[in-house]
Amino acid sequence: MTEKTYQVTTPEETKRLAEKIALLLRPNDCLTLSGDLGAGKTTFTKGLGIGLGVKRTINSPTFTIVKVYQGEKTLYHIDAYRLEDEEEDIGFDDYFYGDGVAVVEWPQYIASFLPDERLDITINKVDDSDRRVITLTSTSDYFDYVIKEIPHI
């Protein structure tokens, strides 16, 4: 298990880090994004979209749990916030074992459906500023490798 921490100071920097990570991803990969409301999970996902060649604007999926974006690679953007305490299976296997990169906001609400191999990302605010501490944690050899390959942002 590898862990790596980044300190960023702007939303653009968060997106840039996400974009660099996206370039290393394969279809089928699963990333989780943890952090409070407003931490920057959706901002990070926008950067992933850029790296995956998604042209549409990525927004918070407020009323839908899953949004599918076609890019050079497919992106499944899952926001499990509304599934709090439900443990409802809405066919997650299609996303986690499909042919796209899956990114999950609020993964704790669908913990039992998540694949074992993941890149877990936590975003924490620092004070009341634009600074964020972004921690990447791998749960597999493959994501250990991905973390090592991320170029400097």
Rounded to an integer, what distance in angstroms lies between the CA atom of residue 31 and that of residue 120?
6
Is residue 127 within the footprint of ligand ADP (CB under 6 A)? no
Q: Is 31 helix (H, G, I), strand (E, B) or coil?
A: strand
77 near ligand ADP (CB under 6 A): no
| Residue 1 DSSP SS3 | coil
Q: Confirm or reject binding of residue 62 to ligand ADP (CB under 6 A).
A: no
Q: Binding to ligand ADP by residue 27, rule CB under 6 A?
A: no
Residues 6 or more apart from 91 whose CB is under 8 A from it? none
Kindly tell me which of 42 and 135 has the beta carbon lying closer to ligand ADP. 42
Minimum CB separation of residue 83 from Mg ion in Å reads 14
Read off the tokens for 8: 């960023």
Minimal distance in Å, beta carbon 42 to ligand ADP?
Answer: 3
Task: From the list Mg ion, ligand ADP, none, pick the one residue 43 interacts with, judged by a Cβ distance below 5 to 8 Å according to partner type.
Answer: ligand ADP
Q: What residue is closest to ligand ADP based on CB?
A: 40
Phi, psi of 105 (to 5 degrees): -90, 145
